[in-house]
Amino acid sequence: MMKRRRASGAAESHSGIDLAPMLDFVMNLLVFFIITAVFAKEVGIEVSRPGSGAGDSGKESKSMIVTIYGTGDIEIEGRMVDVRAVRANVERMHAVKPENGVMVVADKVVPSGLLVEVLDQIRLGGVSDISFGATK
């Protein structure tokens, strides 16, 4: 029997996995995510909170307080009112002091429909300066 000799320097077959295409793919993904992250813009609302010294040098501005309870009851300045009476109360307050706003304080469990309805009544009453608060 005759044995064949391989020529030294001939390519041997590999049994391993070629990693070059996978590395190219990973590099492309990395570049894509870096470029995308640069152009991503966060959406939000800027809130300007007053500091400890904020205020109108001696001028006191008092807002009308509208409290909405989780039971659906609405209280304006200490009086329980119906949602239909919110507009009349706001109009009366706005006629007396047009520079004042309205502070709406609502429980966490207040239905959003009721909150929107009260806000609509306040807007229809002529007030556009509305602040929001929450109860503990």
The residue written with tokens 């009476």 in the block is 85
Which domain, by its residues, includes 110? 64-134
Any domain includes 126: yes
Any domain includes 10: no
d(CA 51, CA 18): 62
Any domain includes 5: no
Close Cβ partners of 75 (under 8 Å, ≥ 6 residues apart): 66, 67, 68, 69, 81
Q: How many domains does the chain have?
A: 1
Any domain includes 57: no
Q: What is the CATH number of the domain that holds 69?
A: 3.30.420.270
Any domain includes 35: no
Any domain includes 31: no
Q: What is the pLDDT of residues 56-103, one digit of tens each?
A: 444 455 788 899 988 889 998 888 999 888 899 889 888 888 888 888
Q: What is the pLDDT of residues 91-135, one digit of tens each?
A: 988 888 888 888 898 888 888 889 889 999 989 888 888 888 876
Any domain includes 75: yes
Bridge-partner residues for 102, per DSSP? Answer: 64, 130
Let me know: does 31 contact 37? Beta carbons within 8 Å: no
Q: Which amino acid is at 19?
A: L
Let me know: does 77 contact 65? Beta carbons within 8 Å: yes
Of 20, 118, 15, nearest to 64 by C-alpha is 118
Any domain includes 51: no
What pLDDT does residue 54 have? 46
72: left (phi over 0), alpha (psi -120 to 50) or beta: left
